[in-house]
Structure 1
Amino acid sequence: MNIRKAQPEDHPSLLAIWEQSVRASHDFLSEQDIQSLLPLVRDHALPGLEVWILCDEASSPIGFMGLDDNKVEALFIAPTSFRRGGGKVMLEHARKLKGALKVDVNEQNPRAVAFYLSNGFVVSGRSPLDSQGLPFPLLHLDEASPSAA
């Protein structure tokens, strides 16, 4: 696996990975929820974040991560690549770039919560609504600064 910086021409394939990953992991979202989030991801998240792509041995994108300073705003892996270490590789890359990280994760996505907790994050807070004001509770997670460990 290797990581490279995303370019605008990568966005359609990243949007497809986002949709596949969300459909496989966010069973609390309705079809209407997913369809309303697609343009937000396409028009705001992908162009507005520092986006890194995880590629397989054939250099095909299998995941991506969007950063806003030291906050992981998006980390999505194609379902065919779930549980193969790609998420951890992406977090390690982000730590090298940004130091201690923060992330908000949907409380209703137990696999994502478990992933972040197993990778050194701790719950620092909770919001009953997501960033769009919808009733999808978020857990706010932080990791200790490497120098504090």
Structure 2
Amino acid sequence: MADEKPVILVLNGPNLNLLGLREPEIYGRDTLDDIAGKLEDRAQELGVSVDCRQSNHEGHLIDWLHEANARGAKAVILNPGGYTHTSVALHDAIKSITVPVIEVHLSNPHAREAFRHKSFVGQAAKGTIAGFGATGYLLALDAAVRI
């Protein structure tokens, strides 16, 4: 339909379902539902819609990236969690689609343990926003609308 709003898919990886409980000194006190609510409010202001999802399973994230491409999503905001540093499969999935992907992290991986400094996802993504807590998702949404 011509009057449908552009969709931005927001994908969250492993352990992000525990936001607000898990290491709040690092990840903040906002839950994933809190972040989704803020994104929905901002999306309405921007004239787009968001489809927020979370999975602890790498294959689900890959399937959703493929789905974003097939359904013509405007962009994908992806917080891959721990898969950031390990998943060549997510890297390849991002490279295989035409929808731009924005990587987002609540904390700044470069200010943390050395193993977190390499991002396979970031190497394939259009850009990365990190270190701004839940606000990073809103920054990513603003960027997704503009690209």
TM range (shorter): 0.3 to 0.5
**Structure 1 or 2: larger helix share?**
2
**Structure 1 or 2: larger strand share?**
1
Structure possessing the higher relative contact order (Cα contacts under 8 Å, 6 or more residues apart): 2
Q: TM-score, normalised by structure 1?
A: 0.38
